[in-house]
Structures are given as structure tokens and as C-alpha cells.
């Protein structure tokens, strides 16, 4: 049994690792040194901005892709505005929202509220050739129309953005691109933890159902269960509701609904786990710990692989 359990856990970890690697290797669609495809984006003043037209008048085009709810984006804008004011004769910043939920009215109000004067608008279909890994993402397009620099993440050090602008506007600029930079991002780790937690949860439920004399597939398709004691892993439909809410919260990126749904899913998951722990004669403390992400799945594997006997439904 131990050998089989170890094999299952190793497979789970391998799948999670592959998921993290696949996410980490995502590409933005262009690389420093490559010619930037011509694009046109709509702006808040009702006009459009086309790269080829901008390069006829400017030596540098800075394409900033942000979202109205993005905190790091908001923090880097004051420095961008300051640098833009000092170099607007030779460079232009075009800042567009890459969030499909943002509207032109939203960006127009955002621009006014933050006292930003450079062109702003929506990415729309004009930048569909880009695969933006996160907000903000900034591309420097030099006087030759080539991608000179890509920054994934915000410019946090004062003077960093100004230094990059000075490099590309310098008479000594030789056309060679700068190495891309990516701010420290925990997104791949959150994605990996989510994948790992889900797989562990499936394995744990499968073991628990087998211990209770039920078929393992019941843990994957709970709504087809025909037995009365749903409390095993699901506690009525409480566990199902907790998972549905958590999944919904994961995909909704708007801050307030996201955190409300994730909090509700966590709370229901803890109640479910406390009931499950008591059904195996375990303490409330273990139940609370089992309600936490990743630990939730590990706890169920421990119960399913241990000698603890399932005694039936138990309420918190």
C-alpha cells in the first residue's frame, strides 16, 4: 500500500511540475531585436495610434500594456508621466489596457484621475499577436522599428524607466537590443500550487471512498453518487459548493469578487474538512488544517492511507 501511495504522489508531483514549466515557458510573441509588427490601437480621445505613423515623428515608441485594476501599473505611471513630459518631442508612450473587461470609458476616467497626458486606450484586436504574460508589460520600439527592450512587470526603481528611455534616445544608440527583464512573479507558483492541490485532493478523495467501500470514481463525479452518506469528502453538497466557489474565484480576476469568492470557498472548505476529520475520529485542529489549500488534499490522502476507521457522518 505504501509503495502504491508513493507512486501516486510522485505522479501527482510530476504533473504539477510539468504544469509550472509549461506556464513559465509561455512567450510574448516578439523578441528583442525583431521588427515589431505594425499595429493600430484605439485611444480615449476617439483617434487611433498606428506604430508606423508614430515612428515617422518619434525616435522611440513605448508600448505599455496595463489593466485598470493593476496596482503595480498604477505605481509606475507617475515616473512614466514625468519622463514623457521631459522627452515628448522625441518619444511617445502609448498605454493600452489588455483587460477585455476594461472599457474606453473606464480608461478615459482612469487617465483623468491619474493626471496622465500620454495617449491611452484599449489593446483590442490590434495587439492580438502578443501573448502578454502579465500586467504591466512594456515594450520599447526603437527608431528602426525593432523591439529594443521588453519589461514584464513594473518599473519599481526610480530612474530605471528614465535610464532605458535615455539609452534609446541617445545619439550613440547602435540599434542593439537590451536583454529582456521580468519582475519576480509568483503566478507560476500559484498556478503550480493550484494544480498540485487539485490532484492531491482527487487522490485523497479516491482513497477515502475506497476505504468506505465505495468506488473510487465517486470522488470524481459526486453528483452521480447513489449512497446516502455524502459526508464522506463532500458533507452533503458542502464540499461541491466549496470547490465550485473556489474555481469561480480563481478565474475571476476583478479584485473584490475574486477575494470574496476565494474567501467563501476557503471557509466552506474548512467546515467540510472539520466534519470529515470528526467522521474519522480526528481532532478539530486537523480538520482546520485540512481546509487549507494543498494541505487539504494531503490530509485526505493521510486519512485514506491510515488505519483510521470511517465512522459515518459527523457534524462540525
CA distance linking residue 246 with residue 240, whole number of Å: 10
Q: Are residues 171 and 202 in the same domain?
A: no
Question: Which of 122, 151, 179 represents a domain boundary (last residue)?
Answer: 179
Q: Which residue has the higher pLDDT, 17 or 290?
A: 290
Whole-Å CA distances, 115 to 81, 97, 110: 9, 17, 8
User: Residue 140: which of 102, 176, 99, 184 has the closest Cα?
Assistant: 176
Same domain flag for 130 and 62? yes
**At 258, phi and psi to the nearest 5?**
-60, -55
| 66 within domain boundaries | yes
Q: Is residue 124 part of a domain?
A: yes
Tell me the residue range of the domain where 139 lies.
Answer: 32-179
Q: What percent of the chain has pLDDT over 70?
A: 75
Question: What pLDDT band is residue 235 in, cutting at 50, 70 and 90?
Answer: very low
Model confidence, pTM: 0.57
Same-domain check for residues 161 and 294: no
Q: For the chain, what is the mean pLDDT?
A: 80
Same domain, residue pair 45 and 138: yes
Q: Specify whether 167 is located in the same domain as 264.
A: no
- Whether 158 and 76 share a structural domain: yes
- Per the CB < 8 A criterion, the answer to whether 286 and 270 are in contact is no
Same structural domain, 224 and 258: yes
Shared domain check, 131 and 62: yes
If DSSP codes are grouped into helix, strand and coil, which group holds residue 66? strand
- The beta-carbon contacts of 182-190 under 8 Å, at least 24 apart in sequence, are 182/133, 182/151, 182/152, 182/153, 183/72, 183/151, 183/152, 183/153, 183/154, 183/156, 184/153, 185/133, 185/134, 185/152, 185/153, 187/23, 187/134, 188/20, 188/23, 188/24, 189/20
217 shares its domain with 279: yes
Q: Are residues 295 and 222 in the same domain?
A: yes
The CATH number assigned to the domain holding 165 equals 3.40.30.10
> Quick one: pLDDT at residue 85?
96
User: Where does a domain end: 152, 179, 206?
Assistant: 179
pLDDT band for 134, please (50, 70, 90 cuts).
Answer: confident
* Structure-block grid coordinates of residue 287: 480538520
Give the number of domains in the chain: 2
Q: What is the pLDDT of residues 50-95, one digit of tens each?
A: 999 999 999 999 999 999 999 999 999 999 999 999 999 999 999 9
pLDDT of 15 over the 80 cut: no
| pLDDT band at residue 248 using 50, 70 and 90 as cut-offs | confident
Same-domain status, 207 and 250? yes
The residue that leads in pLDDT, 132 or 158, is 132
Q: Are residues 150 and 249 in the same domain?
A: no
| Whether the Cβ atoms of residue 272 and residue 246 lie closer than 8 Å to each other | no
Instruction: Give the pLDDT confidence of 156-188 residue by residue, as tens digits.
Output: 887 899 999 999 999 999 999 998 877 655 556
pLDDT at 304 over 90: no
160-169 vs 71-87: helix axis angle to the nearest 10?
40
Query: In 3-state terms, what secondary structure has residue 256?
Result: helix
Amino acid at each position: 500500500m505504501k509503495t502504491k501511495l508513493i507512486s501516486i504522489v510522485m505522479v501527482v508531483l510530476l504533473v504539477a511540475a510539468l504544469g509550472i514549466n509549461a506556464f513559465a515557458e509561455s512567450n510574448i510573441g516578439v523578441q528583442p531585436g525583431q521588427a515589431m509588427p505594425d499595429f493600430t490601437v484605439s485611444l480615449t480621445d476617439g483617434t487611433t495610434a498606428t506604430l508606423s505613423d508614430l515612428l515617422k515623428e518619434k525616435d522611440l515608441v513605448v508600448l505599455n500594456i496595463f489593466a485598470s485594476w493593476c496596482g503595480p501599473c498604477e505605481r509606475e505611471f507617475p515616473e512614466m508621466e514625468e519622463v514623457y513630459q521631459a522627452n515628448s518631442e522625441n518619444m511617445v508612450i502609448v498605454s493600452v489596457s489588455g483587460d477585455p473587461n476594461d472599457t474606453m470609458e473606464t480608461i478615459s476616467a482612469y487617465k483623468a484621475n491619474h493626471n496622465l497626458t500620454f495617449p491611452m486606450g484599449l489593446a483590442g484586436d490590434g495587439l492580438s499577436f502578443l501573448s502578454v504574460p502579465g500586467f504591466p508589460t512594456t515594450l520599447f520600439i526603437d527608431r528602426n522599428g525593432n523591439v529594443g527592450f521588453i519589461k514584464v512587470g513594473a518599473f519599481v526603481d526610480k530612474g530605471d524607466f528614465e535610464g532605458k528611455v535615455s539609452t534609446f534616445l541617445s545619439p550613440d544608440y547602435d540599434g542593439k537590443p537590451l536583454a529582456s527583464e521580468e519582475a519576480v512573479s509568483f503566478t507560476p507558483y500559484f498556478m503550480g500550487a493550484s494544480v498540485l492541490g487539485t490532484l492531491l485532493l482527487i487522490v485523497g478523495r479516491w482513497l477515502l471512498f475506497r476505504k468506505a467501500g465505495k468506488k473510487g470514481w465517486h470522488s470524481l463525479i459526486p453528483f452521480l453518487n447513489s449512497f446516502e452518506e455524502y459526508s464522506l469528502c463532500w458533507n452533503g453538497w458542502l464540499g461541491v459548493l466549496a470547490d465550485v466557489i473556489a474555481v469561480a474565484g480563481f478565474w475571476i480576476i476583478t479584485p473584490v469578487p475574486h477575494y470574496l469568492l476565494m474567501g467563501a470557498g476557503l471557509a466552506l472548505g474548512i467546515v467540510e474538512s472539520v466534519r470529515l476529520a470528526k467522521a474519522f475520529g480526528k481532532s478539530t485542529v486537523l480538520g482546520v488544517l485540512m481546509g487549507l489549500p494543498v494541505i487539504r488534499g494531503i490530509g485526505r490522502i493521510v486519512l485514506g492511507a491510515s488505519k483510521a476507521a470511517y465512522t459515518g457522518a459527523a457534524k462540525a
